[in-house]
Amino acid sequence: MGRVGVLLLNLGGPEKLEDVRPFLFNLFSDPEIIRLPVTWLQKPLAWFISTSRYKKSQENYKQIGGGSPLRRITEEQARALEAKLEEKGQPAKIYVGMRYWYPFTEDAIAEIKKDKIEHLVILPLYPQFSISTSGSSFRVLEGLWEEDAALGDKVNYSLISSWYDRPGYLQAMADLIAKELDKYENPNDVHLFFSAHGVPVSYVEEAGDPYQREIEACTSLIVQTLNRPNAHTLAYQSRVGPVEWLQPYTEDALQELGEKNINDVLVVPISFVSEHIETLQEIDIEYREVAEEAGIHNFRRVPALDTHPGFINDLAELTIESLNNPSQKFADVVRPSERLKMYPQERWEMGITTSAEVWNGRFAMLGFIALLFELFSGKGILHAIGIL
């Protein structure tokens, strides 16, 4: 088959406190994270958000040791996958490409070219597809392929868009959940609380993002695989800004469970396969406090998969299947139909329509940010005319 490579895609994270601000700038510079009607606003907005938020974010990273463990864990997953593929008789070199921090996706592609890889499996470490995660990385890769004819001529790639329904992945998740459940005095009475990263509702309703559908299906499949009598809830965390995000929100759902006098809660981080800021700080610290205030005093979390043997074995099987049956290409995923709209978006409308309401929310957000900027800097139109 020739030289084989596997590109693992992930978000990336600041490894030191001084990395936080530039990491946030890279994150909010992505039009798939904040969609604006005009592209020239993207970087000024990213600068403002990263400047105003980085100190608070630094405090959060201090609570988990001063930086994100995501790169270290992803590289451990890469080494484990490489060893498992070798064991299965399919040697391959594994590369790590992060979207917003080192090693960047572009750096990984440069290494792939230098190593003269002929067959490449592109494997996002996001079980469920979203425009804002896998889709954003695919868009970057599509641009690199379009800019460099050598990539198209010499690297035959196969793209895996999502894998949330893989039996091996589902069994690995069920194993972790069962292990934690059995630590409770009454395992069958524990409420399973699936917490997924949220996305704006407009991504699903306006842009056709399949993320919510895949998260809901994944939750049901994990519960079926677990085969326990526990009640369960699915909620969404990590929302930012004034626009509406997928609901129920994690904090609201925890409060509702507390009102029902449910004391034993086990959180399952369903959209994360590695420990990082959203598991170690947001769930373990912030949501634990929410749970305590709601009267939930036995609050625990299922650990992320990291290098769970069953999970790594399933990734190896998925890689081999993709090599033997080349599947999707960038165009199939990034622009498969009118249903899925990656950036730049479709023409927007004025008037009382669903898309107009989405844009009204975005413009309101921009106005709110402009007001914050004036309060933050002491300069601007409102100061000039004497209102502030």
For the annotated binding site for Fe(2+), the residues are 197, 278
Q: Is residue 101 a contact partner of residue 13, using CB atoms and an 8 Å limit? A: yes
For 83, residues 6+ apart whose C-beta sits below 8 A from its C-beta are: none
Euclidean distance between CA atoms 113 and 280, whole angstroms = 36
Query: Which residues are part of a known binding site?
Result: 197, 278
User: Which DSSP symbol is given to 234?
Assistant: E
Euclidean distance between CA atoms 327 and 320, whole angstroms = 12
Angle between helices 70-87 and 309-324 (to 10 degrees): 60
Closest CA to 198 of 206, 185, 209, 182: 209
Task: Write out the two tokens for 260.
Answer: 């029902």
Euclidean distance between CA atoms 208 and 313, whole angstroms = 32
Closest CA to 23 of 31, 12, 34, 8: 12
Euclidean distance between CA atoms 75 and 263, whole angstroms = 37
Burial annotation 89-116 (CB, 10 A radius, 16+ → b, else e):
ebebbbbbbbbbbebbbeebbebbeeee
Q: In what order do the strands lie in the sheet with 119-124?
A: 93-98, 4-10, 119-124, 156-159
Burial annotation 47-78 (CB, 10 A radius, 16+ → b, else e):
ebbbeeebeebbebbeebeebbbbbebbeebb
